[in-house]
Amino acid sequence: MADVLLHSKRPIPSDAVLALIADADGLPERTADAVEASLAEGPAVGAWDGDELVGFARAVTDGQLRGYVEDVVVARASRGAGIEAELVQALLAGLDVEVVSVFCTKRDIELYEGLGFKATRQRVLHRRR
């Protein structure tokens, strides 16, 4: 079982986050600088197996009304052990806001419903630079 700790308790290196993201088929817009900036701005948690980062999640929040769970990623070799749920629960424990949202794929719906999230009729739209 991994130790899930806030970034403020055990700093999460951006290169380890990028390695996890690459292992999960990548998010091409993620760079070391972008990850470093996101770690400085909002809550983040890491799942550690000894000295190895095996999971990561972060949230974006205004600190009052809304929060969004982002970048939940677990190393392939550590998937299926409940780390995803532990990461999200640790983030939720630190978010004192009215509504927390998550954007996920169909395969992750069961995970998030098990954590109390409910589907809405809203649609997610994205605009890229």
pLDDT over 80 (residue 27) = no
**Residue-wise pLDDT tens digits, 72-122:** 999 999 998 999 999 999 999 989 999 999 988 888 999 999 999 999 998
pLDDT above 90 as % of the chain:
76
Q: Show Cβ contacts of residue 69 under 8 Å, excluding neighbours closer than 6 positions.
A: 57, 58, 59, 88, 91, 92, 100, 101, 102
Q: What pLDDT was estimated at residue 105?
A: 86
For the cut 90, the answer to whether the pLDDT of residue 69 exceeds it is yes
The single residue listed with the structure tokens 């983040």 is 44
| pTM exceeds 0.85 for this model | yes
Q: For the structural domain made of 3-114, what CATH number should be given? A: 3.40.630.30
Please give the share of the chain, as a percent, with pLDDT higher than 70.
98
C-alpha span between 57 and 69 (Å, rounded)? 7
Q: CA triplet 36, 1, 23: central angle to 5 degrees?
A: 45
Where is pLDDT greater, at 129 or 66? 66
Distance of CA 32 to the CA centre of its chain: 16
Give the Cα separation of 118 and 102 in Å (integer): 10
Ranges of each domain in the chain: 3-114
Contact status, residue 97 vs residue 83, Cβ threshold 8 Å = no
Q: How confident is the model over 44-62, as a mean pLDDT?
A: 96
pLDDT at 31: 86
